[in-house]
Structure 1
Amino acid sequence: MKLNLENKRALVTGSSSGLGKAIVNLLAAEGAKVIVHGRNEERTRAVANEIIATGGIAEIALGDLSTEEGAQAVADQVLAHGPVDILINNAGGYAHTTWKEATADVWKNTYETNVLSGVRMIRHLVPGMKTLQWGRVITIGGGLAIQPTASLPDYSATLAARHNLAVSLARQLKGTGITSNVVAPGAILIPSVQELITKLAPSHGWGETWDEIEKKSVEALVPNDIGRYGRPEEIAGAVAYLCSTYADYITGSVIRVDGGTVRCL
């Protein structure tokens, strides 16, 4: 399917590795002019160079979006070459915290990283989309926003905030030609996740081969109807669809790509 993304300029925050890298690679393959963002110049430039080597168009923007100064620096780098048509708010992170470990300062830092980072980029870049009378803002959320667990309280709360702000933004952008949506992944198999699960496997009796380990660890940790972890490319596919002209009639929506992990509507 041709997604009609040629000549669209897209910033994917946190795209020097993992899920963000998969998204920026697919958008570039669909003809978008992508901006790879990260804090580490070597990793960020490597992703951009890979895209260029395969015939895509890519530039980079460096900076820490969890601070006002860092976000401003990223916006300045991006806007120096013109407005963006597409903003993918993917950047974020979490620590494996419990309620006891998640102090007020931890909560503040998690909100700066996961919520205010996206708010900053929306404020910097959406005004330019309004001049184009077309745009896409896609926020990467997650199932914990809807179905939180006892652990990761600060992270789960920030995911809920990301979902909420994306829908509020959609209401604000009524009639502008700009849509705002959420893609909510389930547990996604990125290298660090596979490494962690493989280390845990012997003590939990999950098997020896990856096929065995994946199936049994999913059953134990994130049971879903598909019986495996999601792949970054599957999330990227949902993002790319929402960026396309085929999604003109979708805004304020949450698209879950989680194998059926979340049971509520």
Structure 2
Amino acid sequence: MNLELSGKRALVTGSSAGLGAAIAKLLAAKGAEIVIHGRNEGRVDEIAEAIRAAGGAATTALGDLTTDEGAADVARAATADGPIDILVNNAGFYRHLSWADATPAEWSHTYNVNVVSGVRMIQHLVPAMRERCWGRVVTVGGGLALQPMNTHPQYNATLAARHNLAVSLARELKGTGVTSNVVSPGAILVEATKEFVTGIGPARGWGDTWEEIQPNAVEALIPNDHGRFGRPEEIAAAVAYLCSDYAEYVSGATIRVDGGLIRSAF
């Protein structure tokens, strides 16, 4: 399917590794010019070079989105070669903490990283989308927004806020040609996920090797209809669809890509 993204410029926040990198690479393969964002220059450059080596177009924007100044710097760098048509708010922060360990300061920090950082980029980039009567904002959320666990409550709550702000933004953008939607991943097998599961697996009796640990971890943590972790490319595909003209009639929606982890009819 031709998603007709040629000539569109996309900023994917937090795209120097993991899920963000997969999204950036797929959007580039579909014709979009990509701005890779991160805080580590070496990793940002590596992803941008990989896209260029595959025949795509990529530039970079370094900066910390958790401050007004840092976000403004990223916006300036991202628009240096032209306006941004697609904003994928992917950047986020996660720490596995109990209720007892998640201090108020941790809650505040996590909210700033996961919610306010995205708001900053929306406020910098969406007004110009409205002026051009075309744009796409895709927020990467998560199933814990709807069915939170007892652990890492500060993270669960920020996912709910991300979903909420995306729908509110969709209402604000009514009739402008700019859409706002959410892609909600399940547990996706990126490097950090594998490290976490491998670290806790032996103590929980899941086995000692990845081949032993993975099926037990899936059953214990994320029981779903496919019995596996998701792949980054599967999330990227949902994002790419929402960025295309095929999704022009999709507004304020959540596309769950979680293998059926979230058990809900609505």
SS at match of 2:73: helix
Kindly report which structure 2 residues correspond to 1:124-203, keeping only aligned pairs within 5 A, or say none.
124-203=124-203
Larger CA deviation: 77-86 vs 23-32? 77-86
Larger CA deviation: 210-219 vs 60-69? 210-219
The amino acid across from 2:77 in the alignment is Q
Cα 1:62–1:127 shift into 2, 3 Å = same
Deviation at 1:105, TM superposition (A): 1.0
Kindly report which structure 2 residues correspond to 1:230-245, keeping only aligned pairs within 5 A, or say none.
230-245=230-245
Counterpart of 1:100 in structure 2 is 100
Kindly report which structure 2 residues correspond to 1:245-264, keeping only aligned pairs within 5 A, or say none.
245-264=245-264
Deviation at 1:213, TM superposition (A): 2.2
Using structure 2 for the length normalisation, give the TM-score: 0.97
Is residue 73 of structure 1 aligned with residue 85 of structure 2?
A: no
Kindly report which structure 2 residues correspond to 1:197-216, keeping only aligned pairs within 5 A, or say none.
197-208=197-208, 210-216=210-216
Q: In 1, distance between residues paired with 2:209 and 2:100?
A: 36
Q: In 1, distance between residues paired with 2:229 and 2:147?
A: 17
SS at match of 1:255: strand
Q: In 1, distance between residues paired with 2:225 and 2:68?
A: 41
**Equivalent residue pairs, number:** 265
Counterpart of 1:30 in structure 2 is 30
1:174-215 residue CA offsets vs partner (Å, 9 max, x unmatched): 000000000000101001211232233333332455343221
Q: In 1, distance between residues paired with 2:160 and 2:195?
A: 28
Cα 1:150–1:26 shift into 2, 3 Å = same
Using structure 1 for the length normalisation, give the TM-score: 0.97
Q: In 2, distance between residues paired with 1:213 and 1:237?
A: 27
Counterpart of 1:9 in structure 2 is 9
Q: In 1, distance between residues paired with 2:80 and 2:195?
A: 39
Counterpart of 1:56 in structure 2 is 56
Counterpart of 2:45 in structure 1 is 45
Larger CA deviation: 134-143 vs 99-108? 99-108
Unaligned runs of at least 5 residues, structure 2: none
The amino acid across from 1:19 in the alignment is L
The amino acid across from 1:131 in the alignment is E
The amino acid across from 1:219 in the alignment is E
SS at match of 1:213: helix
The amino acid across from 2:13 in the alignment is T
SS at match of 2:112: helix
Deviation at 1:25, TM superposition (A): 0.3
SS at match of 2:182: strand
Is residue 229 of structure 1 aligned with residue 224 of structure 2?
A: no
1:221-253 residue CA offsets vs partner (Å, 9 max, x unmatched): 111111010010000010001111111110100
The amino acid across from 1:54 in the alignment is A
Identical-pair percentage: 62
SS at match of 1:16: coil
1:84-135 residue CA offsets vs partner (Å, 9 max, x unmatched): 1100000011111111111111111011100000000000000111122110
Q: In 1, distance between residues paired with 2:129 and 2:146?
A: 30
Q: In 1, distance between residues paired with 2:241 and 2:28?
A: 13
- Root mean square deviation of aligned Cα: 1.1
Q: In 2, distance between residues paired with 1:217 and 1:102?
A: 24
The amino acid across from 1:201 in the alignment is G
Q: In 1, distance between residues paired with 2:114 and 2:8?
A: 26
Unaligned runs of at least 5 residues, structure 1: none
